[in-house]
Amino acid sequence: MANPSRGLSRSTIKTSLLALSLGLLTACGGGGGGSGSSDPVDIVDPLPPSGDGPMTLSGDTSAMAGDSVGIVASFSEQGYQRFAWEQLSGPSVELPGNGTAGVSFDVPSSGNYSFRLTATDGEGNTLSDTFDLSVASNSVSTQVQFRADRAVSEGAEFSLRLNATKYVGTVNGWHFSQLSGPAATLEEDDSGQPVVFVTAPDVDGDTVLTFEATLETTAGNFSDIAYVVVQDRAQVTSEYFCDGDGEYCATDSPLNNMYSYRADSPYRDDLADCVFSNQLDDNNLCTLGRLPVIGMRSSAPSVDLIMQHVLVSHDWMGERFETFLNNLDPHSDFANLLRATTAVVISSDIRPSFYWSLTGAIYLDPDSLWLTAEERDVINEQPDYRAGFGSALNFVTPWRYVKNNNYVFDSYAVSQRYGRSLQDLEADLGSLLYHELAHANDVMPQSKLNSGLDSSDIFFNQAHSGAAVNESVSTINPLQSAELFALADVRYRGMEATAVQRAYTPEDIAGFFFPDSASDFYAYSTDYEDLAMLFEETMMSLRYGIQRDVAVTNKPANPTSADDYIVSQGQRNRIGSSLLRPRASSAVQGLLPEAWAEADAHLQQLNPMLMCAGEGWGQNLNPACEGNSGLLRFAAPLPSKAIPMPNEKPRHQHPPMWY
C-alpha cells in the first residue's frame, strides 16, 4: 500500500496498473464458417448524408416486418452528450439505444414509423430532428438481422451479431464486410458464433460506417446492413484511460460517451470527468468536495440519492439498477454498502466488472442487468481478456451457486434471444454487487467514514490513510499454500506456467487447497479477493439461502458434457468449516457491521458437505453420496434444467488497486 503521508505518487499509480495492462484484448479470426479477415477493409466512400445542418440522421428508410432497423446521428460539432429518442408514430418498438446517438430495433409489423432525436450539449443547447421509416408486409421465407446499430468512439472495439429469425435450406456459413466509411478492422469470432468484432477507425468528425452480414444457405444468400456512427472525441491524454500505447494503460480501447443517469444530479457535470474520463491524470483527480463519497452525504442513503451518483452509457442500465435497489434490496445491504463509493459506472464496454480505489467507483458489466434481448444486443461481446490464462495447467477449479440442487443462474444463449424477469437479476446482480462493494468497503469501511473525511483531498489518499479490512481478516487462519499463490499468478494474471506447475494433477491441487483456509482458488490472487470471496459467499447464503460449490477436477481435452469433468475433491458450504467460519464472520463485521450478528449466527449453522469424488461435476449437483451406492444415488430426480459446462472464471477482474 502507498504511504498515505506522501499522498499520490505518479510512479506508484503507474506501477499499480500493471495487472490491468494485461487486459489488452486481442480478438481472433476464423469464426464458424465465415470469411472475415483480420486486415482492414479497403477504404470506401462514406455513406451519403440524409440531411443538412449540424445534425444528420442516417439509417433504413424502408424495411419489411421483422427486420432489424437502425438509425444513427452524426454531428458537425462536438459537445453533444445526451441523446433522447422518442417514437412519434407506428407500432410500438423498444429503443435500448436510448441515451446514445444510435438506436436499433426490430419492426413488428407493417406501417409508417416516425422517430425524433433530441441532442443536448453541456450548456443545455439542443438540436432536434425526425426520421421516417416505411415498413411493408413480409412474405419471405428467410430473414436475417444484423444487430445492433449503434454509436461508438473512434478506435473503440465493439461487436455485431448475425441472427436468422427464420430460414430455408441448410446453413453453409456466413461472412461480414464493410460497405462504406473509413476502414475499420474486422475479426470474426473463433468460437463458431456468427459474431464479428470491430475496431472503429480514427475519424476527424462524426462518420457513419455501414457493415453487411450475409447468411449463406443452400437456398441462397441473405443479407442485412448495420449502421454505426463513429464519434470524434477529444484526444486521449490520460495515463490510466489511454489509447493502448502506454505500458500501464487501464484500457486499450477509447471509452463510450457517458452521462449522468439523473439529468438533475448535482454531479451531472462532474461524474464522467472524475471516474470515466480519457483525460484523467494526476493533476485533475477529483477531490471529495467535487465528488463526495455517498456516505459523506448520508449514513442511510436513499435510492434517489444513490442514483445521483450513477453514470451510464444507455438509459436502460440506470433504470435496471434503480429498479433493483427499489425492489430487490429488502435489507438495505446494497444501499449501505454503496456508502463507500463515489459513483456507480455501468457501460456496454465494461467487461468484466471491477472496483478502482483511485476513483472510489465500481464499474459494472451490464450483462448482469439486462432483461430483454434488445438490451443485451448493445452489450459488447468481446471475449474476456483472461480467457486463455492458465491454459497450460492440467486441472480446473469450477464453482457455482446452487439452491435445492439446481443452478441459481440460468444460462441464456445470445442466439436464442431469451428475455428474463426482474427476479432473475436478484442472485446474478446481487452476487456481483456483494463482491464489488466488498472491495469498496475494504478500503473505505464505515469506521473510516464515521471518523470523517477531508473534502479537500482526493479519494485515494483518504481511503488509504489507515488499515484496510482485509489486513485484519488475513491474520485469521491465514492462507498457507505457496503452490496455490504461485498458480494464481498463472490463472489470473497470465504468467507462464512452469514445468512443475504444468505437471500438477487434480489430486495435487486438491491436496493444496482443501486443508487450507481459502473459500475459492481466486482468493490466492490477492488479500483483497480473499476478503471479497468470503463476504460474497456468506451474504449469498445468509440473504438468499444459496449455497456455493467449489471443486478441483480434471481438464478433459474435448468435453461434451459437464460430467466429463471428474471431481477429484469438492465441497459445498465451505465457509461453514472451522477454518473458514471465523474468517467469514470477521469479513462481514468489517464490511457490513449492520449484518454481522445475523451473519455470524448463520455461519454457525452451516454444515459443509463433501462432493462425491470420482463422479462428474453435473452428477454432483446432488452431492449427498455418503451411505448411498452410485446406482441408488442416480435414481433420485434429475435436475429440472440442463447442466452447463463448468465455469472457473470470476465475473470480475482484479481491481486496479494499490497493494
pLDDT in tens, 129-144: 999 999 999 888 788 9
212 in the same domain as 243: no
| 222 and 330 inside one domain | no
The mean per-residue pLDDT over the stretch 164-175 comes to 86
Whether 518 and 584 map to the same domain: the answer is yes
| Radius of gyration of the chain measured on its C-alpha atoms | 25
Residues 171 and 247 occupy one common structural domain: no
Q: Is the peptide bond before 639 cis (omega within 30 degrees of 0)?
A: no
What percent of the chain shows pLDDT beyond 90?
Answer: 70
**Residue 649 covered by a domain:** no
144-158, 295-309, 310-324: least confident range: 144-158
**Do 46 and 185 sit in the same domain of this protein?**
yes
Instruction: Look at residue 227 and tell me whether its pLDDT is greater than 90.
Output: yes
Statement to judge: residues 171 and 138 lie in one domain: yes
Domain membership flag for residue 459: no
Q: Which set of grid coordinates corresponds to residue 92?
A: 410500438
Q: Are 611 and 620 in contact (CB under 8 A)?
A: yes
Check residues 42 and 376 and name the one with the higher pLDDT.
376
Q: Give the span between the Cα atoms of 246 and 13, in whole angstroms.
A: 13
Does residue 350 share a domain with residue 420?
no
The answer to the question of residue 152 being in a domain is yes
> How many Cβ atoms from other residues are within 10 Å of residue 94's Cβ?
17
Q: What is the mean pLDDT of residues 395-409?
A: 93
Q: In the predicted model, is pLDDT for residue 7 greater than 60? A: no
What Cα–Cα distance (Å) separates residue 415 from each residue in 229, 316, 412, 507, 649?
Answer: 24, 21, 9, 38, 22
pLDDT value at position 659?
26
Which carries the bigger pLDDT value, residue 237 or residue 320? 320
| pLDDT higher than 70, residue 89 | yes
Domain annotation covers residue 183: yes
Close Cβ partners of 34 (under 8 Å, ≥ 6 residues apart): 173, 174, 175, 176, 188, 194, 196
pLDDT at residue 254 in the model: 60
- Maximum pairwise Cα distance, the chain: 79
Please tell me the predicted confidence (pLDDT) of residue 459: 96
List of residues 6+ apart from 172 with CB closer than 8 A: 33, 216, 217, 218
Taking the CA of residue 227 as centre, how many other CA atoms within 13 Å lie in the half-sphere pointing to its CB? Answer: 26
Same domain, 351 and 221: no
**Which of 172, 199, 231 finishes a domain?**
231
Q: Please state the rounded mean pLDDT for residues 592-596.
A: 98
Confidence (pLDDT) at 383: 74
Per-residue confidence at 52, pLDDT binned at 50, 70, 90? low
Q: Does a structural domain hold residue 657?
A: no
Judgement on whether residues 496 and 593 belong to the same structural domain of the protein = yes
Report yes or no on 389 lying in a domain: no
Q: What pLDDT score does 651 carry?
A: 58
What does the block give as the cell for 392?
Answer: 497450460
Q: Same domain for 227 and 244?
A: no
Quick one: pLDDT at residue 416? 86
**For residue 254, how many C-alpha atoms fall within 13 Å in the half-sphere facing its CB?**
20
State what percent of residues in the chain have pLDDT above 70: 84
Q: What pLDDT shows up at residue 653?
A: 57
The model's pLDDT over 495-510, given as tens digits with 9 standing for 90+, comes to 999 999 999 999 999 9
pLDDT score at 53 = 73
pLDDT greater than 80 at residue 253: no
Which phi and psi (to 5°) does residue 85 adopt? -100, 140
CATH of the domain at 186: 2.60.40.10
More confident residue, 425 or 242: 425
| C-alpha count within 13 angstroms, C-beta hemisphere, residue 473 | 30
How far apart are the C-alpha atoms of 182 and 208, rounded to whole Å? Answer: 9
Same-domain pairing of 9 and 36: no
The answer to whether 406 and 299 have CB atoms below 8 angstroms apart is no
Residue finishing a domain among 346, 377, 408: 377
Same domain as 554, residue 418: yes
Q: What pLDDT is stored for residue 46 in this prediction?
A: 45
Please determine, for residue 208, whether its predicted confidence score (pLDDT) is greater than 60. Answer: yes
Distance CA 461, CA 484 (A): 32
Within a domain: 458: no
Between residues 43 and 484, the one the model is more confident about: 484
What lies within 8 Å, CB to CB, of 292 at 6+ separation is 342, 455
Which residues are CB-neighbours of 560 under 8 A, at least 6 positions away? none
- Structurally, the chain folds into a number of domains equal to 3
pLDDT of residue 644: 73
pTM (whole model) above 0.95: no
pLDDT tens sequence across 355-387: 988 899 999 999 999 999 999 999 998 876 666
What are the phi and psi torsion angles at 6 (to 5°)? -100, -5
The verdict on residue 461 lying in a domain is no
Which of the two residues, 28 and 464, has the higher pLDDT score? 464
From 206, 231, 256, give the residue that closes a domain.
231
Query: What's the pLDDT at 166?
Result: 77
pLDDT tens sequence across 608-657: 999 999 999 999 998 876 544 444 444 444 444 567 777 766 655 554 44
Mean pLDDT of the chain: 85
Of 95-109, 167-181, 374-388, least confident by mean pLDDT is: 374-388
Range(s) of the domain holding residue 324: 4-16+237-377
- pLDDT score, position 192: 85
Query: Residue 210: enclosing H or E segment and its boundaries?
Result: strand 207-217
Distance in angstroms (rounded) separating the CA atoms of residues 186 and 633: 50
pLDDT-derived band at 236, boundaries 50, 70, 90: low
- pLDDT score for 11: 30
Distance (Å, rounded) from C-alpha 76 to C-alpha 72? 14
Taking residues 40-47, report their average pLDDT.
44
